[in-house]
Structure 1
């Protein structure tokens, strides 16, 4: 998950202008948070109690000015990537306010997040950035995973259907869609997997990829191929499954055999995405409600 970006990018987000927009939160929401357990079965988890470690004053700012932070987060992606996104969550994290967004614009689909300073809600000016940090490059890669999905949509949808069709046979489930939108910011992600695309500079994005947004499908695919060639980018995209099972601790030997069969079956399927490496991961059925980070789970990998 893309977390705190460098101070370079954050400082760019804090240009002149001022507005305040207090947001009251209901007593019911407060009570709900106090009763959320530390871990929940993934099928029941929809982002309840999600609150990474953060400073108390930042938590208060995120709650009080939620709507204003949402607008700034949405503006950030419009100003820098030319994409319309919808804010899905605002939470404090460490010393900044993290705005989670979901994009489904012209077939480009991804989840991402951007950190803002705790007083960024006061600003109204442009958020267009010239940041060249590695953190910004990671964020560009997050956005480009949505371009990768659009470029091979039919084949990725075939892969998704494979996971759906085999969920009962191999006894696994995936993330709840609402939990993805509220807690995940790692690019294109559905219930069963997420796509990791190469980190690129913002300058490269604006030159090679942003002009493709409104192209028809054929021109879009040709543009993606041309961009890879002109940038000398030959690496495969990576697909990481995020699967859960309530039998994680049962009969380890048989479970391993089962997942070897699953992986063999997956590799034999036709019409899956090209130039993609797929890693299958299986963890237990519980997810941490405060961090909701699959990468922190103990998993079996194939």
Structure 2
């Protein structure tokens, strides 16, 4: 099952930046206090959530520094993506973290994807280390692969989008707001209803490497590249995440069952392993996740040729 995989990026970033705690004893007291204070985070209706209140452990000391150096951070992150990943990005959100700022970005044009970078911050001297921007290993490469996949199979994704739009309307469901996806998503090719992750071995070639060597290839050129490769559908994860539209309404198991049945029998959908997550109407402000005790998940469904 993929329920444990649910995730917004907060889990990964908290772990990665939390790992810096031992090398920064001056922030350990603040880190512990922040963790304890947020053990019972406030909730908000998902349709009202745009990322407000999102926080990372240790971010109290860096949030104000990051805000004061917003332009410097934005400029450094844009240069980082252009230099290392040959991609122009727009910056949507900058969030304080332990000894750093986490910066959520969206690629401009195609391939389209969301991801993030980390800018180290010297808390003691209140300085932003703009020349030391970094990204989690494999994170951006995964995002690039998802963007290429969605671009090449755009018709199949349109079919999935149309199905989910009709299904959510019919069953009184809702997805994340577009602003939440932009500000706290960071999950590759994403929509308010789903996000994708693709392993490096999905096509038998190093897709992200080919992109870095020639990022300006057209959709037609990418189609030729992928059509000549054997696809490993089990290396493509498509996670559908939905919420009950009305407050105080429990997630309905029959909804998960119906989506599973529909995905199994439908033709013309993107290939991959599908999993479904269904939450109540509320989402955590701090963690940007709807995962709660009453959340439901499905068995994996493999869509292959």
TM range (shorter): 0.7 to 0.9
SS of residue in 2 equivalent to 1:58: helix
SS of residue in 1 equivalent to 2:174: coil
2:97 & 2:87 partners in 1: Cα distance?
A: 25
Q: Deviations over 1:1-40 (max 9, x none)?
A: 2527979xx9xxxxxxxxxxxxxxxxxxxxxxxxxx8211
Question: Structure 1 residues 299 and 269, CA, compared in 2 at 3 Å: closer, same or farther?
Answer: same
Match of 1:259 in 2: 256
- In the alignment of these two chains, the number of paired residues is 259
SS of residue in 2 equivalent to 1:282: strand
Q: 1:215 aligns with which of 214, 217, 226?
A: 217
Question: Structure 1 residues 217 and 206, CA, compared in 2 at 3 Å: closer, same or farther?
Answer: closer
Q: Deviations over 1:66-103 (max 9, x none)?
A: 11111111222111111111000001122211011011
Q: Deviations over 1:132-153 (max 9, x none)?
A: xxx4123321232112211211
Q: Equivalences for 1:64-83 in 2 at 5 Å?
A: 64-83=68-87
2:213 & 2:232 partners in 1: Cα distance?
A: 18
Gaps of 5+ in 2: 1-8, 21-40, 299-305
Q: 1:285 aligns with which of 281, 288, 292?
A: 281
Contact preservation (8 Å) 1:3, 1:113: no
Contact preservation (8 Å) 2:94, 2:102: yes
Match of 1:57 in 2: 61
Is 1:111 the counterpart of 2:114 in the alignment? Answer: yes
Question: Structure 1 residues 233 and 74, CA, compared in 2 at 3 Å: closer, same or farther?
Answer: farther
**Normalising to structure 1: TM-score of the pair?**
0.75
Match of 1:3 in 2: 13
Q: Which moved more, 1:62-71 or 1:112-121?
A: 112-121
Is 1:236 the counterpart of 2:235 in the alignment? Answer: yes
Question: Structure 1 residues 206 and 217, CA, compared in 2 at 3 Å: closer, same or farther?
Answer: closer
1:297 & 1:109 partners in 2: Cα distance?
A: 33
2:16 & 2:44 partners in 1: Cα distance?
A: 33
1:196 & 1:76 partners in 2: Cα distance?
A: 22
Question: Structure 1 residues 235 and 260, CA, compared in 2 at 3 Å: closer, same or farther?
Answer: closer
Question: Structure 1 residues 136 and 79, CA, compared in 2 at 3 Å: closer, same or farther?
Answer: same
Question: Structure 1 residues 251 and 49, CA, compared in 2 at 3 Å: closer, same or farther?
Answer: closer
SS of residue in 2 equivalent to 1:86: strand
1:72 & 1:296 partners in 2: Cα distance?
A: 37
Q: CA RMSD in A?
A: 3.1
Gaps of 5+ in 1: 11-36
Question: Structure 1 residues 141 and 293, CA, compared in 2 at 3 Å: closer, same or farther?
Answer: same
> Shift of residue 266 of structure 1?
2.6
Is 1:195 the counterpart of 2:191 in the alignment? Answer: no
Match of 1:167 in 2: 168
Is 1:139 the counterpart of 2:140 in the alignment? Answer: yes
1:61 & 1:205 partners in 2: Cα distance?
A: 37
> Shift of residue 289 of structure 1?
0.9
2:145 & 2:108 partners in 1: Cα distance?
A: 13
**Normalising to structure 2: TM-score of the pair?**
0.74
> Shift of residue 55 of structure 1?
4.2
Contact preservation (8 Å) 1:51, 1:290: yes
Contact preservation (8 Å) 1:283, 1:297: no
Match of 1:31 in 2: none
SS of residue in 1 equivalent to 2:113: strand
> Shift of residue 259 of structure 1?
2.8
Contact preservation (8 Å) 1:3, 1:114: no
